[in-house]
Amino acid sequence: VEEQHYATSTRHLAFLLQVEDELLAHMRQYAAKLQQKVHTMRVLQAEWLARRLAAIADPVSYAANPLRSLPLMRRMHVDARKWLTFARLEVGQESLKQLAEYELGVITAVDLKEAANGLLRIQETYDLHERDMARGILQHKQYNSRLSAADCLTLGAHLEDLKKGPLACRWLEVALEQYEDKWQPLDWLLQAGRSQIWQQLGLTRIMTHDLHGSRAAFTKAVELASEGEDVAIAQHLAGNLGHHFVHQRNCQGKSGLPVQSSLRCHYAAEGSAYLRLAPLRMEQLSLDPLVAIYHEVVSAAEQSDLLTLSQPQLQRHRGHRYDAVRTFASAELVSNATLHVERLHRKLEDITGLDLAESEPLRILNYGLGGQYYIHEDCKQPQPHVEPYPKEYRLATVLLYLSDVRQGGYTSFPALGLGIRPQRGSALVWHNANNAGNCDFKALHAACPVLLGTRWVASKWISGSGGQWRRKPCRK
Ligand SMILES: O=C(O)CCC(=O)C(=O)O
Ligand SMILES: [Fe+2]
């Protein structure tokens, strides 16, 4: 199909109206069919309910009357089946089919961009105010037309793409003014509701380095979200924004050495027979919470087992529809998958001094283009005194690096100012909870986007009721 560039001539633009009319006609037909079905179901339900109500007082004596129990049996055996068959019936399929045949694909994102550019060109050349434009005023002339909140949102997002932050913010503020509550039921469908606008505003304000305003916008987005509206990004960023910039520095390798001077780098030879025989080079990166890296933990044979076993199972992380927070594919491996995996698990128990029996399976993660795991906590605080604790109560995490990454892909601790470069075979260990059993916000972490190369890690979330600390030396 040839591209038309619909935005560039009024003749082509007018053609879109024709398409729109036909779409609307099909939509009306489809809605009518659905309505018919709903109507039939309502009538049936009312009739059925009327008979059912007769039994409310005393079900046993109702059932004891054969003139009632036979009909009951018939209803449940015959009518109910018919009703279910009817319920499963897909109505209006013909209209849907016709709708699907529409070549909406010919109207492209490029067309929308050109239209947006056209509007913004007018704004600049004629020095128009975005609020006036949205309300139908062009050079002091009032027209009987307006831009909807969704239109303004589109312009705002487009301007953000063009790196025109301040103007984007202004359009988004107008979008909020133009928002009308009456469209609220559609917010989840069109994803252009008030909370989407606030979310976009938050993102755009980050761009203009307005951290404060950005956090406020994200908070609003979360507050106003109606059911089904996807505000995952806002939700995430509302809490983590202060850390976003430290995180960026961490990712870029600009964070330097950890600030605490008491940190040690030595051979760890305590806690198990294995470590006494083969001490591991251990580097402390933080003491509160503990973050330490152990070198040469995962042998080449173990690495290759983990990768081979995971390959057939790797699946894109399933989160929200558009989940930029976690962009990787992962697979789970049970602790006794192979002898190597089993041995590796014992090694992790030795290193951490923690019992892994109650923990979730080892997860192998592979990050793709720009893949990241944005700032998050592994540990979720359980309700006090409600045992057993849920799996999400993860006291510690071990991250095994299964590949070097050519560029980027550091593990970042925004609250600690740490950026750790993946080293194949190393294990990064950190505590998510303190000795009082409280999840520690400072253990917040992220995987930076991969800049170049591939990134394979295995992560072991260590959960349990606290008993697994028993292997800590000097505790009993
Ligand atoms: O891949 C990383 O560096 C982090 C992984 C992670 O945070 C996790 O698995 O919880
Ligand atoms: Fe994590």
Burial class of 312 by CB neighbour count within 10 A (0 to 12, 13 to 18, 19+)? exposed
What pLDDT digit, counting tens, does each position of 167-192 carry?
A: 999 999 999 999 998 888 888 888 88
Kindly write down the DSSP assignment for every residue of 349-414, as one continuous string. HHHHT---TTSPPEEEEEE-TT--EEEE-S--PPPTT-SSPPTT-EEEEEEEE-S--SEE--EEET
What pLDDT digit, counting tens, does each position of 395-426 carry?
A: 999 999 999 999 999 999 999 999 999 999 99
CA distance 291 to 430: 4
Beta-carbon neighbour count of residue 418 at 10 Å? Answer: 23
- Classify the phi-psi angles of 306: left when phi > 0, otherwise alpha if psi is within -120 to 50, otherwise beta: alpha
Say yes or no: CB of residue 447 within 6 Å of ligand 1.
yes
Domain for residue 238, yes or no?
no
Residues forming beta bridges with residue 330, ordered by sequence position: 315, 365
Distance 364 CA to ligand 1 centre (A): 10
Domain for residue 254, yes or no?
no
Q: Label each residue of 406-424 as H, E or C.
A: CEECCEEECCCCEEECCCC
- 101 and 112 belong to one structural domain: no
Distance 376 CA to ligand 2 centre (A): 6
Q: How far apart are the first and last CA of the chain?
A: 74
> Of 105, 123, 149, at which residue does a domain stop?
105
Distance 214 CA to ligand 1 centre (A): 26
Beta-carbon neighbour count of residue 319 at 10 Å? Answer: 12
Cα distances (angstroms) measured from residue 243 to each of 22, 60, 256, 412: 50, 65, 17, 10
Domain for residue 167, yes or no?
yes
CA distance 472 to 350: 10
Confidence tier at 473 by pLDDT (50, 70, 90)? low
Is residue 145 over pLDDT 80? yes
> Of 53, 76, 105, at which residue does a domain stop?
105
Distance 365 CA to ligand 2 centre (A): 11
Helices (H) and strands (E) in the chain, counts: 16, 17
Distance 308 CA to ligand 1 centre (A): 20
* Domain containing residue 158: 108-230
**Residue percentage of the chain with pLDDT more than 90:** 52
Distance 426 CA to ligand 2 centre (A): 16
Kindly write down the DSSP assignment for every residue of 239-297, as one continuous string. HHHHHHHHHHHHHTT-S-S-S-TT--EEEE--SSHHHHHS-EEEEEEEETTEEEEESS-
Which atom of ligand 1 is closest in space to residue 459's alpha carbon? 9
Task: Average the pLDDT over 233-237 and give the result.
Answer: 83
CA distance 362 to 23: 50
> Of 230, 257, 289, at which residue does a domain stop?
230
Q: What is the domain-level CATH number for residue 118?
A: 1.25.40.10
Q: Which residues contact 221 (CB under 8 A, 6 or more apart)?
A: 195, 196, 198, 199, 202, 231, 234, 235, 238
Say yes or no: CB of residue 373 within 6 Å of ligand 1.
yes
- Which residue among 399, 420, 421, 455 is best mutated to probe the pocket of ligand 1, counting the most ligand atoms within 8 A of its Cβ? 399
Give the lowest-confidence range in 55-64, 275-284, 291-300, 313-322. 313-322
φ and ψ of 464, to 5 deg: 150, -175
Token pair recorded at residue 119: 């509007």
- 281 and 222 belong to one structural domain: no
Closest C-alpha residue for ligand 1 atom 4 = 447
Beta-strand pair 362-367/455-463 = antiparallel
**Helix, strand, or coil (residue 300):** helix
- 207 and 170 belong to one structural domain: yes
- Which residue among 291, 317, 411 is best mutated to probe the pocket of ligand 1, counting the most ligand atoms within 8 A of its Cβ? 411
Residues forming beta bridges with residue 114, ordered by sequence position: none
- 346 and 393 belong to one structural domain: yes
**Residue percentage of the chain with pLDDT more than 70:** 95
- 204 and 269 belong to one structural domain: no
For residue 321, what is the DSSP state? Answer: S
Question: Which residue would you say has higher pLDDT here, 105 or 447?
Answer: 447
Q: Are 198 and 218 in contact (CB under 8 A)?
A: yes
Beta-carbon neighbour count of residue 272 at 10 Å? Answer: 17
- 299 and 178 belong to one structural domain: no
pLDDT value of residue 320: 43
pLDDT value of residue 414: 92
Q: Are 433 and 306 in contact (CB under 8 A)?
A: no
Domain for residue 476, yes or no?
no
Say yes or no: CB of residue 255 within 6 Å of ligand 1.
no
How many structural domains is the chain composed of?
3
Which atom of ligand 1 is closest in space to residue 422's alpha carbon? 3
Instruction: Considering every ligand atom shown, identify the ligand nearest to the alpha carbon of residue 250 and give its number.
Output: 1
Token pair recorded at residue 31: 């809605």
